[in-house]
Structures are given as structure tokens and as C-alpha cells.
Structure 1
Amino acid sequence: MDIEEMQAIWSQIGQDLEKQKKITNTLVMKMTQERYANKFSKLATYETLGAFICFITALVILLNFNKLDTWYLVLCGALLTGYFITLPALVLKSLYTIKAIKIDVTSYAVTVKKYVKAKNKLMLVQQLGVYLNFVALLLVIPVFSKLFKNKDVFVTPNTIWYWLLPVLVILMVLVSRWGYNCYKKITNSAENLLKELEDIEV
């Protein structure tokens, strides 16, 4: 075997190794994309279910809106309806935006930039939701008291709310904190997954 034949063999081995590397990296990319999307799948399922419940609740309020017979109950009803429609829509939009990001190693920096932007928007919506949940809690009491019991809590306050409201606020704090931490954990995990791809070349 002369030098030229050896060089040809080594060149072929090099090409084969390069092809194998590209195939392996492509498989890693596909698996990472799947793992990335799966991280948000459970959240998307829960949020879609929650949004459905919120939209149904908004519809119930709208169908019974004529029972809100004072300006302040109308205002409470309108704000609550807006909350039940707008917040879930914002959450779903931001969640599905981050879930749909296509991981592209050839423009890794662009992918990370898209992810960080989507993550910040998602977390901002979550923070907004935490604060709006407390406002909604205060609106639910007068609106649902009027719709289902025909009682105006502003005119004839029910003593049950004096102990029930603080309990609901405490529950809201715990649930909101737990939910926000879940989002934080999942988004950080997805970000770490992207960082693992930094040295891969496709």
C-alpha cells in the first residue's frame, strides 16, 4: 500500500466520521427538541383546562349580567368577565409561544435570544396573574353573591365573608406561590437544556 492509497483511506475514514458526527448531532437535536417541548406540555394541558373553565365562567356571568342591577355590581361583573377572558388568553399565548420555539444550533445565539424573550414574557404574565388573582377574588364575592343568591354584599354584608375571605387570601397566596415556582423551575430547566447544545455543531 503506497502513501496515496493510505491518504485516500484516511480521507475516507475522516469523511465517514464527519458524516457519523452530523447524524449523531442531528439525532441529539431531535431528541432535545422533543424533550424541550415536553417540558411545557403538562403546563399547556393544565392551563388549557383552566382557560376553558375561565371562559365558561365568563359566559355564565355574561348570560346572567342583567341580574347585576347597580352600577358597582355592573362594574365588578365587567371587570371579572374581562379577567376570566383576558388573563387565560395571555397565559396560553405566551406558553404556546415558548413551547413552539424551534431549536436551531446553526443559529444558537438567535435561539437562546428567542427563548429568553419568550421566557421573560411568560414570567411577566405569571407575575401579573398573581396580582390580578387577588383583585379577582374580591370581585368574585359580590358578583357571585348577586348572581346565585340575589344578595348585594355591599348593602347586606354576610358575616361568613369576615372569616372566609382571609382563608381564601391565604390559599391564594400559597397556590400562586406554588404555581409561580413551578413555572420558574420548568423554564430554568428548559434553559439548561438549551445550554447543553452550545458546543454541538450540525
Structure 2
Amino acid sequence: MELHEMQATWSQMSQELEKQKTLTNELIMEMRHQRYQNKISVLSKYEGLGAIICFIGALLLLPQLQKMDTWYLMASGIFTVCYLVILPAAVLYSIYKLRTINVLKNSYRELLVAYAKRKKRFLQTQQVGIVLNFIFLAVSLPVVLKVFKDKDLFIDDSNILFWYVPIMAIFLIIFSRWGYGKYKNVVASANSILEELDGKKGS
């Protein structure tokens, strides 16, 4: 085999190897993209189910607002409805922003910057939600009593405050710590998937 033939063969082999490397990197990117989406889907599944329950609760409660015959009961009812609609919508939107990060098209640096911002927003939304959960616990109680027992908690003598609020508060503290920890693990795991792309994408 003459020199120019060897050079041509070597050049062809180099091109084929480069194509194979490109295809391999693309396959790795697709797999990482799918892994990332699967991680975020865990958040979507749990929060989506919770949002459906909240939206149904808000729809059922709206017609009952006419039973709120004092300003404080009406204020409690309006807050409860707004809580059941706005907070789940805000959480779902923060998850949507995480899902719309394009692993395949953005550069490595862009991915990390975008993810860091959206992860922070998601976790902040969760933190606000935890605080609002405790407010909801107190504010929704007179609404529930009025709807189901036609009692005004602020007027009728009731010992429900002595057992309901402490028990629910303890439950909320335990559940909130557990849930927030789980969500932090999920977003940290998703972040690790993106960090694995270092060297696979340009900066």
C-alpha cells in the first residue's frame, strides 16, 4: 500500500472514529436528559396530585362562602380558597421551570446557572409553603367548623382548639421536615446529573 493510500485510509478511519465519538456523546446526553427529566417528574407527580386535591377543595368551598356570616369568617374563607389555589399553582410553576431546562441545547455553564436559579426558586416556594401551612392550619379551622357544623369558633364554646391545633401542628412539623428533606435530595440528585455533563458539553 502506497503512502497516499495509507493516508487516505487513516483519514477515513479518523473520520469514522470522530463520528462514533459524536454519536456516543449524543447518546450519553440523551440518557442524562432522560434521567434529569425522570428526577423532576417525581416532584411533578406528588405536587400534581396535591394540587388536584387542593383545586377540588377550593371548588367545593367556594359555594360555601355564603355561609360565612361575619367579616372574620369571610376573611378566613377567602384566605382558605386563595391558599388552595395560589400555593399549588406557584409550586407547579416552579417545577415546570425546572422541567423546561434543556439539557440537550444549552451549554454546560448555562445549564448550571439556570438550574441553580430555578432550584433556589423552587426551594424558596417550598419554604413559603411550609410557613403558609401553619397559617392555613389556624385560619381554615373556623371555616371547616362553620361549613360542617354551622358553628362559629370565635363564639361557640369548643375545646377543639385544645387538641386539634397541637396535634395538627406536630404533624405539620414532622411532615414538613420530612417532605422538604426529600425534595432537597431530589433536586440535589438532579443537580448531580447535570454536573456529570462536564466535559460532554462546551462551556
TM-score, scaled relative to structure 2: 0.95
Instruction: Give the Cα separation in 2 of the matches to 1:17 and 1:201.
Output: 18
How many residues of Structure 1 are paired with residues of Structure 2 in the alignment? Answer: 202
1:146 has 2:143 as partner? no
Q: Which residue of 1 aligns with 2:57?
A: 57
Deviation digits for residues 52-106 of structure 1, max 9, x if unmatched? 1111111122111110000000111111111111000000011111022110366
What does the per-residue CA deviation read over 1:8-53, in whole Å, with 9 as the maximum and x for residues that have no partner? 2221111111100000011111111111000121221221111111
Aligned counterpart, 1:80? 80
- Report what 1:99 is aligned to: 99
Q: TM-score, normalized by length of structure 1?
A: 0.95
| Conserved? CA contact 1:104–1:111, under 8 Å | no
Q: 2:30 maps to which residue?
A: 30
Identity of counterpart residues, as a percentage? 44
Distance in structure 2 (CA, Å) of the matches to 1:199 and 1:145? 60
Deviation at 1:189, TM superposition (A): 0.4
Give the 3-state SS of the residue equivalent to 1:64 in structure 2: helix
State the SS of the aligned residue for 2:151: coil
Corresponding position of 1:172: 172
Give distance in 2, aligned partners of 1:163 and 1:34: 47
Corresponding letter in the other structure for 1:188: A
Unaligned residue ranges in structure 1 (runs of 5+): none
Q: CA deviation at 1:201?
A: 4.2
Relative to structure 2, which stretch is displaced further, 16-25 or 104-113? 104-113
Quote how far apart the aligned CAs of 1:172 are. Answer: 0.3
